[in-house]
Amino acid sequence: MSHPFENLPTTPTAEEVIDQAFSRATRAGGAKDGVEAQQSMLMTASNIISDNLQNVAQSWPTIDDLDPFYVELADAVISETDPADDDDGIDALKQHLSEISWAGRKAKEIRQEYEGRLVRGDKDTARKLRKQAFARMADVVEEVEDDLVAVSKARDALKVLPDIRPDEPAIVVAGYPNVGKSSFVNRVTRADNKIASYPFTTTQIRVGHFEDQRIRYQLVDTPGLLDRPPEDRNEIESQAVSALEHLADAVLVLVDPSEECGYPLAQQLDLRDDIESRFDAPVLTIANKSDRSTDVEADHYMSVTEDDNVDGVLQAAVDAVGYELELPFDDE
């Protein structure tokens, strides 16, 4: 299973749609004579424009049917594709797709409007009418030129999202920089499950996997998001946090009681309190660097560098998630 945006086809430009339609129409017309040639050209151009534009609109998943995690995340990612544009995000994407779909239908309507008139005229009249129809079709495609560009940008940005699966249990790892989050994720995820990442302003979401009792867990490390006070996050980052709220089945907040990370413990615990109030999932406080200090009240203590109780913390996360594999014979 892949994420819903992974297989979106390339979005053509308005110029590409027009060029393809009219060059194919010219070839189709060259095989026939008189009025019939003009009819063939009209039909071919209309079909290519309509099919191309409808394919763009219909290749996207229905946004309202997506998991809320992907809706929030897509909203944040698309907003970032054009930060200067206030009217962006998922609602703008829906509008762009709707406009493109309209243009596809309009190309068909123009063909239907001219078909009957072509038949009634002579060869020269038919040619004149066909040219008129072409000009109007080109106008319609050019009208959605900006919509095609916006959809193309959104597609390119969303296609590279890591494969995060809302239907698989997810453990989010949070905490200030240098408290040991990445070391922990690297230590407990298997080497064959490479950590995926994508650029997200100053942010990368890194996803690793591990298995326990035949269940695959996702471990999500969020540098640049859940590693600072909420007031320091910009709007796009806040949206990404909202997406994680939908995703998380448990949250591990790593703190460094030795303060070697460079942040006062009180500040680290304030972040933990904010995460606890925000997430509707179990939040565990994990004191890392226990070989340096255990001077904090925490749910679990570990030292990633010393390999002390790392597996214990992972097991505690699994227990907090409480995910049960549904077996086919459970109901018998």
Summarised one tens digit per residue, pLDDT across range 154-189 is 998 888 777 788 889 999 999 999 999 988 998 998
Chain mean position to CA 215: 25
What was the pLDDT predicted at 97? 95
Burial degree of 104 (CB within 10 A; 0-12, 13-18, 19+): buried
**Range in 40-49, 92-101, 319-328 the model is least confident about:** 319-328
Give which of 217, 110, 118 is closest to 168, Cα–Cα. 217
Burial degree of 116 (CB within 10 A; 0-12, 13-18, 19+): exposed
How many Å apart are CA 328 and CA 332, to the nearest integer? 9
For the range 31-37, what are the long-range contacts, defined as Cβ-Cβ under 8 Å and sequence gap of 24 or more? 34/123, 34/126, 35/118, 35/119, 35/121, 35/122, 35/123, 35/126
R_g over Cα of the chain: 28
Q: Give the number of C-alpha atoms closer than 13 A to the C-alpha of residue 293, restricted to the C-beta side.
A: 12
How many Å apart are CA 249 and CA 171, to the nearest integer? 6
Q: Per-residue pLDDT averaged across 72-100, rounded?
A: 81
Q: What is the dihedral of CA 32, 45, 116, 107, to 10 degrees?
A: 180
Q: Give the number of C-alpha atoms closer than 13 A to the C-alpha of residue 220, restricted to the C-beta side.
A: 30
Q: Place 79 in a pLDDT band, splitting at 50, 70 and 90.
A: confident
Give which of 157, 164, 319, 291 is closest to 236, Cα–Cα. 157
What was the pLDDT predicted at 222? 80
Give which of 16, 24, 58 is closest to 43, Cα–Cα. 24
Pairing of β 203-204 and β 199-200: antiparallel
The tokens for 329 are: 């014979």
Cβ partners under 8 Å of residue 151, min gap 6: 11, 56, 60, 93, 96, 97, 100
- The model carries a pTM of 0.80
What was the pLDDT predicted at 270? 95
pLDDT tens digits along 93-143: 999 999 999 999 999 999 999 998 888 878 899 999 999 999 999 999 999
Q: DSSP states of 288-330 as a string? A: --TTT---S--SEE-BTTTTBSHHHHHHHHHHHHT--PPPTTT
What was the pLDDT predicted at 305? 92
What was the pLDDT predicted at 239? 79
Q: Place 200 in a pLDDT band, splitting at 50, 70 and 90.
A: low
Pairing of β 170-174 and β 250-255: parallel
What was the pLDDT predicted at 191? 56
Q: Which residue has the higher pLDDT, 40 or 116?
A: 40
Q: Which amino acid, 124?
A: D
